[in-house]
Every structure is written in C-alpha cells, then in structure tokens.
Structure 1
Amino acid sequence: MDYSVYPSEKRSFKSYRLRGEYPQPWLKERQRNYTLRSNLIVYAFFFTSLCISAYLCYDGYRKVKRRDYCLILDDSFESIDPSIWQREQQLDGYEVGSFDWTTPDDSNAYASPNGLVIMPTLTNLTTSITPSDIIDGYRLNLTTQGVCTSDRIASCAVLSNSTTGEIINPVRSARLTTKFSKAIQYGRVEVVAKMPKGDWLLPSIRMIPVNETYGDWPQSGSVDIVLARGNQAGYPAGGRNIFTSTLHWGVSRAANRFWKTTFGRRVRRTDYTKGYNTFGLEWTKDYLFTYHNGRTYSVLWIGFLKESLWDLGQFSNNGSLQANPWSVSENMNAPFDQPFYLSLSLQVGATNYAVFPDSHDKPWIDASPRATAEFWSAVDSWYPTWGTGEDRALTVRNVKMWQEGKCN
C-alpha cells in the first residue's frame, strides 16, 4: 500500500503560557513579607558573625608570639654517628628497673634502610654466656672491662647466684643518647618512629637532664615523650595501641609526682607497631607539651605560669620533711629549666611504678628479690610473642632537635 497518498496530519504548536497581565495575589500576602524579612535578618547576622569570627581569628593569630628556633640535629640514620650518639652500657635497668643489659653491639643497635634499629636479643644467643651461667656462678663486670657508662658500681657488675636469685641480665638491648653532643634548654624535638611488638617490651623516647642540678632522679626531672608497651592491645594497663607522655619530678623516688603529669593517646583499629608516627615535644619557660603526628594533636600539656611544681605536688601540705630542691631557682618551671638531652631506648620488663602492674599472667612480681629470675624462667611464654625480624625492634626513621632562639 502506498502511504504517501495519505499525508500525515500536521498540527501547529499551541502555547499555554499566560500572556499579558495576570493576577499574583501571593505577592501581597503579609506572611510572605515576614518570611523574606526574617531570612534577610538571618543572612545578615550570619554574614556579620562570619566577618567577626574571621577578624578575631586573624587578630589572635597576629598576636601570637612567634618563637625563633634553631635546628641543631637532623639525623635519618644512614649510619650511627658516634660523634652524636653515645651507646650506654649498664646493667641496672635505669629508673624503671628493667631486666636488660644495654650494649654497644651492632646486634642491638644498627642502621638499616628503615633507620635506626634498636633490637632486643637473648643474652645466651648473642654471647658466650650459657643458660646455666645466667643462673649461677658467672660474674659480669663492666667496670673491669672499662666500658661501663655509669659511675655507680651497682650499675656495672653482677654475679649470678642460684641461692640468692641474682642472675645475669637475660636480655641485651641498647640505649643511645645525645648527652655529650646535643642538648637543649627550651626548644622542640620530633622523632619519627615505629614501636616494637612483643610482651614486656618497653620502648621509650626521653629527655634527661645533662646535669643533676637539683639532685638524683627525679629531683632533677625527666620527660617521657613516649613510653609504650609491646603487649597486645587487650593488655589491661594498655598495650601497643597506646602510649603515654610523662613528666617525672619529685623530692625523692618515693615522692615522684609523675601521676599528676601523665597523659596517654590511644588509637583504634590499629596500633603503634603498624607504621611510623611522629612524636614531638615543645618546651618553653612558660609551658611544655607533647604531641602526636602534628602540634595540633596535643597529648600532655603542662603550664608553669600559675604555680610551681613544688606547689602542684603539694609537698608542704603532706608533711614532707624534705626541703624544696628547686628553691634555689627563681623559675616556676624548675627542674625543667636546665639543659636536657635525648635518649632512645628499648627496655625489657620493669619493676618500678607499676609500668607492668602485677597480675596473674605476669611472670614476675615487682617487689620480689627474684624478679629477674622469675621473668627469665618464663622465657618460653613471652619470647614467642616477640615479632619476627625488625618487628620486635624500636625503629627510628628520623630525629630532629631545635634550640629555642636564633641560630648563631
């Protein structure tokens, strides 16, 4: 069939748009005018508030005192520079009473492509000291070897004795410091590091006074920028998903008021062994604070303008018979008004200040005279928890230190 003979019907387009004037009664409604007026008022207030807030932020930023800083150390550990880092050799466990023996051996501290690696090792696996020597009949004397870095005899020698329970330190590790090379009196520190994995491992990044101006620790103070544990995240006292920053200060070891100046930072769904984090310290005469991954994430903040640490510690109110060791200073922040140096260490175990609180699954008791022997007797339970390779180590990728003030 030929459809061409049936042409399709063409329809013209017709618009239904109103033409000419038409009534708009809603424009005359009073309610609409009220709504428009209200909206204009809200917008005006919003814009005015925005301008005032912007000005106040700018004015506050403009008035903030700008401190000058001079970079005195920037080390990424292509090697361990002996002119910067001293490797301490001691047996006393330092302030926390740990069980390790700090050594200068490359097996315990070495430079790798990842940075500085502080590695804990079992004494019987990295020396000629046997398991039976560790327990009985072996004398280890760092003083006679001429290598001990402490002037305290008890820190440098030990004789294993199965009767008394005294044993050779069963673990070797390392502690590197800048005591004789780099120190600051006010300034900043930043350490990029990854924490170790394993039960009873205790990594720390600390600031320690160059001179014991006010007396033995903690009278002269110390700063834990980081104190962490290698235990699993479920450990009651806090595992490897948390670290703490602490100021240690007091008139004696028994009166250390660290608990007044301790704060921690916990992470969720991860932990500090999974990657590198930046741990920092900013320290002035007026305040001191630590931070994590940027100065906006403060962990510990202590101000020194309102009261001295003697007043904060309330020593006089507690009937203390000891004199104020900081009275010789005119500074409110004493003892934190002296030069401090940096310490990087990985300790193992502890018997002081409930770093690892006594519990049913802890193999030693802090107050026990055989604490080290009790720890060593449980080696088969804790050693398998240590990560493999460098996972069990404290790895430091970079260290920076700034002294407050302009560079000379």
Structure 2
Amino acid sequence: MSGKILLVYLISLINSGTLGQAQQPAFTIPPLTLYAYQPRGFRAEMPDVDGIKLFAFHGRVNEPLPTAKDGDLSGDVNSPNNGKWVYENPDLTLAVGDKVYYWVYVQHNSLGYTKHDVVFEVTELVSKECRPATTKATGIYTKICGGNIIFSDEFDGVWVDTNNWIPQRYIPSYTDDDNYEFVSYQTDNTNLFTRESSLYLKPTVATSKAQVNGRLDLTQGCTRSNRDSCVYNQVGAFILPPVTSAKIISKLSFKYGKIEIKAKLPIGDWIYPQIELIPVNKLPEYPKILIAYSRGNLNLSLNSGEDLGSTLLFGGPVSERAEPERSRNLKSRRLTVPFGREMRTYGLSWSPNRIDVSVDNAVYGTILANEYTALNSEYRIALGVGVGGNHDFPDDTKSGNSWKPWKNLKNDLKTMNNFFERRGSWENTWFGDDVALQIDSVKVWAL
C-alpha cells in the first residue's frame, strides 16, 4: 500500500469510531464476491457505487492477516471495469478448503472506509469459461455466466446495505393488502438491525392501549403509493397496528436462479417469516414464491389434531390467498424440533421447467412447470416478519391451550383489536430475539 493511501487509511480508522453507533452510516462498503478458479486464479470484485475513488485488496492464504499489513495478495484498483472494482491474481492456485484472510480499503468521496478480519473459504472451484445462463436479471451490468454468483450479502456492516436492499416503511391496509397482517413495517433500529454479521428483523408489540390509539403517519419515506398504506387513523375499536415489524426487499430483480438463505426462523405465537420471492409485476398470474415459511407457534393444532406449528416447513408458489387452495402447490417438510431452534440453509432452485425447494441442501419438494402458472416475470427477494393476518392461520386452531384470538374476516378492522385485547394468551410466548428472523447470508447463483 502506498504511503499516501496508508495515511488516508489511518485517518479512516480514526473516523470509523462513528460507525459503531446505532445509526445508519453515510456509506457502507458494498459486498464483495470472491472466486477461486480452476486450475488457477483468484478474483475479488465489488459493485461500483457513485463516489468510490479507489479500492484496495489485501489478503493471505491460510494464515490470519493483521489489518494494515499488505499480505501476499495485494493491490490498489483506481478505476472500475464494467460496473465492478476488481482485484485479480491469475497465478494463485487454491484448493477446496483453503481460506483467504483479507481486509479491504475503499475511498468514497473524500473519506476512507475499511472492512477487516474477513475470511473467504473455498467451497468450490469455478471455471473461467462463461457458460450461457438461463437467468435474466435487472441491475447487473456484467455478463451473467451460468453457475456464477450474481448476488451475495453476509450482513457484516453496521446497517442494512442499501445498495442491495430497500427497507420497507408502510402499513398493510385492507385496500392494498389482502392478508392485512397486524403490523406496521418500519425502519427503527429496534426492529431492523445487524449484529455479529447477522441481520435481525424483529417484531415488537405495543405495551399499552395508548400506543394503539391516535394516528400513525409513515408518509415520510413511505414505500407504498397508496395513501392508506402510509397513514392510519384509529377510530374506536379500529386500532392502530399493535405490532411494529420490519421487512426489506432486494433491489436486484431476476428470473430463474438458485437461491440460498441461511436463517434462523422466528418462534412465538402467531408470528411467521417472510422469506419469499415477490413479483415485480403485481398481477394475479404471478404468485409469490415461498423460500421458507413456518408458523412460529410451538404447538398449533387443528380440530383434527394435526399440528401446523413450528416443526412444519413450507416452500413453493402460493396458488391462492386463502386455504385450502393456498397450499395446493406448496411442498412441506416436518422435523421433530422447531425450525427456529437453529440456523439452517433454505434453498430454492427456479428454472423454466421446475422449482425445487430444499433445507440444509436436501431437496424436499419439486413443483413442475405444468403444476403452476408460467412465472414469466422477474422477482425480488423479500425478507420480513409478519404477525396475524387473514390467511396465515386457519380459524378454529389452538396454540397450546389457547384458541386463536381472531377470525379471518376480510375488511373487518376489529380483528386487530381482538388480537391485541387477548395478548395475555400469546405475549408470554415471545422471548427476546427468538421472535426475530435472523439472516446470516443471502446468495443467488445464475442457472
């Protein structure tokens, strides 16, 4: 590293103290994608963002690299190439299992930023030849090659990377959202935050009647165009949403690909994760596609005794809004322990002919193209946490010894009041961060 860059780097270390505060930083280093090629070659690339002036990569193979040390792999990149800042070593030979310890420095406008103590473990060797891809994507400015990663986020910044995601701010309304879950989606750092390289999307419940009365105005920064989704007035028993939650949607949209999301699902009565693909074109012929869905109730039983709770996982296209048609094309997997007890890898492979859903690299269901409407649209990744609503919990179900505290009645705004008034039957099942959807990483490969 040159002396001038080292000086700027040292200044960035002094400035970086502000990045530890619980606030959104002015700039976050975009996520890096690293490749180990066969028979030899190594590449680290970072998306270009307005204002980046310089990218420096420093790494060492199979030996930790202290920050500010050059390492065996070292280079300064002064300009982007086809929308990417790229460091490349064509002669490096790596094997599966090798680890590259590295740190990077980025100059953005007049300030320097560092990302350090990062490790890349080689899990596969990639061919340098560009295989034609079935995947189509918007927002990618380089050629898409089959088998290559086109999107990756490991949430190692101090805030959600807004180069990758759009944090949502709106109120599900009876005029715009048929499910009408009992939440408002906001960006408060109590509900949306990163910690130890994981993303947390955490619902919180109102603690008093006063918090569900009055007016909720999310006009500033609202991510919906419908006014009913931005402003809500309480009128009598038509209370404000009693739960504040979080949701993010990817800026990347794509058609066909392999998605893997390592996550810990939420646990708690009447909570469910939103790990899904949502269509860019919001039309009936383009259903949402569940990557991983499991109700948070530890024991949720029908009158028949069948358990629909947290040991049951679903994935696949959602055919209709309401049951039983809703689950017609969904596949399921049951465990003896709740899915929310530990991090697991949830996968979905989507091609023109089929959709495969998997957990921990084991496929548990396949949906052939003739079983669902042709998904001729680009989709985005949505990550969030919902609570209650009209379609996710059948009526006449019991959670433990408590009956479901509301009925699925469309346009009946009093359902939220019924849910909130009976919070004594479910609030004691919400424990700390167990109610959060915790995301370790998101990766998308081209097919």
Query: Do they fold alike, i.e. is TM over 0.5?
Result: yes
1:173 correspondence with 2:249:
no
1:395 correspondence with 2:432:
no
Aligned to 2:378: 339
The verdict on how the C-alpha distance between 1:171 and 1:234 changes in structure 2, with shifts beyond 3 A counting, is closer
What pairs with 1:305-320 in structure 2 (closer than 5 Å)? Answer: 307=370, 309=372
Structure having the larger proportion of residues in helix: 1
Give 1:95 deviation, angstroms.
4.7
1:224 correspondence with 2:294:
no
Contact (CA 8 Å) 2:199, 2:438: kept in 1 or not? yes
Aligned to 2:195: 112
Contact (CA 8 Å) 1:158, 1:167: kept in 2 or not? no
5+ residue gaps, structure 2, are 1-131, 135-145
Q: Distance in 2 between matches of 1:211 and 1:283?
A: 18
Q: Distance in 1 between matches of 2:394 and 2:325?
A: 18
Secondary structure of 1:83's counterpart equals coil
Q: Counterpart of 2:290 in structure 1: which amino acid? A: D
Contact (CA 8 Å) 2:329, 2:371: kept in 1 or not? no
Give 1:153 deviation, angstroms.
2.2
Q: Counterpart of 1:201 in structure 2: which amino acid? A: I
Aligned to 1:73: 151
What pairs with 1:364-379 in structure 2 (closer than 5 Å)? Answer: 364-367=406-409, 368-379=412-423
Q: Distance in 2 between matches of 1:207 and 1:95?
A: 17
Aligned to 1:198: 268
Give 1:247 deviation, angstroms.
0.8
Q: Which has the higher contact order (CA 8 A, sep 6+)?
A: 1
What pairs with 1:1-400 in structure 2 (closer than 5 Å)? Answer: 68-79=146-157, 80-92=160-172, 94-113=177-196, 115-124=198-207, 131-135=209-213, 138-143=214-219, 146-162=220-236, 165-178=237-250, 181-212=251-282, 215=283, 218-233=284-299, 235-236=301-302, 237-249=307-319, 257-268=325-336, 270-294=337-361, 297-304=362-369, 307=370, 309=372, 334=374, 336-352=375-391, 355-359=393-397, 361-367=403-409, 368-388=412-432, 390-400=433-443
5+ residue gaps, structure 1, are 1-64, 125-129, 310-332
Contact (CA 8 Å) 2:181, 2:386: kept in 1 or not? yes
- 1:355-384 Cα deviation digits (max 9, x unpaired): 343336111111154100000101222111
Q: Runs of 4+ in structure 1 displaced over 6 angstroms? A: none
Aligned to 1:16: none
Normalised TM-score (structure 2):
0.61
Give 1:220 deviation, angstroms.
2.1
The verdict on how the C-alpha distance between 1:142 and 1:302 changes in structure 2, with shifts beyond 3 A counting, is same
The verdict on how the C-alpha distance between 1:386 and 1:235 changes in structure 2, with shifts beyond 3 A counting, is farther
Normalised TM-score (structure 1):
0.66
Segment of structure 1 superposing worse, 96-105 or 153-162: 153-162
Residue-pair matches, total: 290
Contact (CA 8 Å) 2:298, 2:338: kept in 1 or not? no
Aligned to 1:55: none
Contact (CA 8 Å) 1:114, 1:395: kept in 2 or not? no
Q: Counterpart of 2:365 in structure 1: which amino acid? A: L
Give 1:255 deviation, angstroms.
10
Give 1:98 deviation, angstroms.
0.9
Contact (CA 8 Å) 2:319, 2:329: kept in 1 or not? no
Secondary structure of 1:154's counterpart equals helix
Contact (CA 8 Å) 1:69, 1:187: kept in 2 or not? no
Secondary structure of 1:147's counterpart equals coil
Contact (CA 8 Å) 1:248, 1:256: kept in 2 or not? no
Structure having the larger proportion of residues in strand: 2
% identical equivalent positions: 25
Q: Distance in 2 between matches of 1:197 and 1:70?
A: 34
Give 1:114 deviation, angstroms.
5.3
Q: Counterpart of 1:168 in structure 2: which amino acid? A: L
Secondary structure of 2:426's counterpart equals helix
Q: Counterpart of 1:69 in structure 2: which amino acid? A: G
- What value does the CA root-mean-square deviation take over the aligned residues? 2.4
Q: Distance in 1 between matches of 2:324 and 2:334?
A: 24
Contact (CA 8 Å) 2:154, 2:197: kept in 1 or not? no
Give 1:176 deviation, angstroms.
0.8
Contact (CA 8 Å) 2:191, 2:245: kept in 1 or not? yes
Q: Distance in 2 between matches of 1:196 and 1:114?
A: 18
Q: Distance in 2 between matches of 1:338 and 1:380?
A: 44
